[in-house]
């Protein structure tokens, strides 16, 4: 190998080449990124739990530009996913890469979300990415204690007209409710959310009885719509005969 050309061995070997050509290390670049970070404002607001938070967009915007200027990239690998009782937990491996030296640094991280539907994994991924960037680069958000998923799950919403915590928070009630919608009504979780007009049952402002009545009304509407479609099809066939198959 000629003088001045070098590399960082991927098996942990030392730099080979001219000392004057040695690139800045991955860690030195990460330190510089850390030094550029300032306290981020909490511009997001969770009305249900009544707290302000730093949005993932603000975190990504702050870190992405600083990392790009240093020639750093970040890759994520999903290692494991577990879902139970309305919660999604995802294990990730995040790898920081220096485009100049080829050095890498991997860290394991966990993301959680109170959602086991199709958006559960995406929400957990967002939470994990946001958290690993905040902690790696020591970014302050002004919080004395970082709010985590467990605290949010246990925290009661702001009292409204003397109402207690949401009825779906009770494990026994939750199991019976989902058994009724899936086994008795044959509805998917997405259909239940569509019927209630929410992304999560926790967002439903009414009682359990009101939710059940709303769902039954939605089911009745779906049945009526299907009946009208079948009736219209029959009228067309009476006028023009059955449709010929292609």
Which residues are CB-contacts of 187 (< 8 A; sequence separation ≥ 6)?
Answer: 181, 195, 215, 219
Distance CA 35, CA 16 (A): 29
What's the pLDDT at 99? 92
What's the pLDDT at 159? 45
What's the pLDDT at 7? 39
Residue of 166, 172, 163, 134 whose CA lies nearest to 152: 166
* Contact predicate 123/88, CB 8 Å: yes
What are 108-166's pLDDT values in tens digits?
999 888 766 667 888 889 999 999 999 999 998 876 444 444 444 444 444 444 445 78
* Contact predicate 67/170, CB 8 Å: no
Asked if the model's pLDDT at residue 22 lies above 70, the reply is no
Distance CA 116, CA 55 (A): 22
Residues belonging to the chain: 246
User: Which 8-state DSSP code applies to residue 184?
Assistant: I
Which residues are CB-contacts of 135 (< 8 A; sequence separation ≥ 6)?
Answer: none
Question: Strand, coil or helix: what is 220?
Answer: helix
Q: What are phi and psi of 242, to 5 degrees?
A: -65, 145
Average pLDDT, rounded, for the chain = 78
Segment holding 69, helix H or strand E: helix 56-70
Question: Strand, coil or helix: what is 152?
Answer: helix
Percent of the chain with pLDDT over 90: 28
Which residues are CB-contacts of 134 (< 8 A; sequence separation ≥ 6)?
Answer: 54, 59, 141, 146
What's the pLDDT at 229? 60
- Residue 236: band (very low, low, confident or very high) from pLDDT cuts 50, 70, 90: low
The pTM of the full predicted model, rounded to 2 decimals, is 0.51
What's the pLDDT at 39? 92
- Residue 46: band (very low, low, confident or very high) from pLDDT cuts 50, 70, 90: confident
What are 93-111's pLDDT values in tens digits?
999 999 988 999 999 999 8
- Strands 104-113, 87-98: pairing is antiparallel
What are 163-188's pLDDT values in tens digits?
457 888 888 888 888 888 888 888 88
């Amino acid at each position: 190998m000629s003088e001045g050309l070098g590399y960082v061995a991927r098996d942990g070997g030392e730099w080979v080449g001219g000392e004057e050509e040695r690139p800045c290390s991955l860690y030195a670049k990460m330190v510089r990124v850390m030094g550029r970070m300032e306290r981020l404002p909490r511009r997001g607001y969770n009305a249900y739990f009544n707290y302000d938070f730093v949005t993932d967009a603000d975190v990504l915007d702050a870190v992405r530009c600083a990392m790009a200027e240093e020639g750093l990239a970040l890759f994520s690998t999903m290692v494991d996913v577990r879902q139970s009782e309305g919660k999604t937990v995802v294990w990730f491996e995040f790898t920081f890469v220096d485009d100049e030296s080829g050095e890498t640094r991997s860290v394991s991280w966990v993301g959680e979300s109170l959602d086991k539907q199709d958006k559960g994994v995406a929400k957990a991924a967002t939470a994990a990415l946001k958290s690993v960037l905040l902690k790696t680069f020591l970014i302050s958000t002004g919080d004395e204690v970082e709010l985590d998923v467990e605290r949010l799950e246990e925290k009661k919403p702001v009292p409204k007209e003397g109402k207690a915590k949401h009825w779906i928070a009770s494990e026994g009630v939750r199991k019976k409710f989902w058994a009724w919608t899936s086994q008795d009504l044959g509805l998917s979780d997405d259909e239940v959310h569509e019927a209630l007009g929410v992304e999560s049952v926790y967002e439903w402002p009414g009682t359990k009885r009101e939710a059940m009545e709303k769902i039954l009304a939605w089911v009745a509407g779906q049945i009526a719509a299907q009946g009208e479609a079948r009736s219209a099809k029959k009228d067309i066939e009476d006028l023009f005969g059955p449709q010929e198959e292609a």
